Amino acid sequence: MMTFKGGKKKKSRLLFVCLGNICRSPAAEGIMATVVEKNGLQDVIEVDSAGTSGWHEGELPDERMRLHGERRGYVFDSPARKFRKSDFDDFDYILAMDRQNFTNIKAMATGQEQMDKIYMITEFTQQYPYYDHIPDPYYGGASGFELVLNLLEDACEGLLQTIKEVELRQYSHL
């Protein structure tokens, strides 16, 4: 578990964002929740997901994504919701799956502090640095879902490493 000098802990809140919140972002949420739990950090890292559109609000993730995730031991069960302006206040990291969603989120930001929270999830990949976005598997076949899971597993591990480094630096003066 991540504890800091003086016993102070800061909860890092992560929001994964794609278009409909039924494939990529709920998969990222489920993968990251698993990574966080395996590292015993569920008390200091919280995860959620959203979509820039409200097309699927309230729906469970795509059945195909859930099936591919289950095969790897993940549970993708958070209902879809639309990204909202208040998410800028509620989250420390807002992680877009692709350039269009990144642009859409940035357009909603009202200042530099909010802009500084927005990242492309692929900024955190370690094994797949040549991918600049997480492709949408919705209209493709099984190989597309598997690629998305590979990319997200890599990015989530890299993101956790980054958060650990940032948080440890932030609290090293205590």
What counts of helices (H) and strands (E) characterise the chain?
6, 4
92 labelled catalytic: no
48 labelled catalytic: no
CA 155 from chain center: how many Å? 9
136 labelled catalytic: yes
CA-based end-to-end distance of the chain: 18
Torsion of CA 4, 9, 12, 13, to 10 degrees: 170
* Catalytic residue from among 24, 66, 87, 98: 24
Q: Rg of the chain's alpha carbons, rounded to an integer?
A: 16
* Catalytic residue from among 87, 136, 154, 156: 136
Residue 74 token pair: 């993940």
* Catalytic residue from among 18, 48, 62, 156: 18
- Helices assigned H by DSSP within the chain: 24-38, 63-71, 87-90, 99-108, 112-115, 142-171
Torsion of CA 29, 64, 151, 104, to 10 degrees: -60
CA distance 39 to 41: 5
- Residues forming the active site: 18, 24, 136
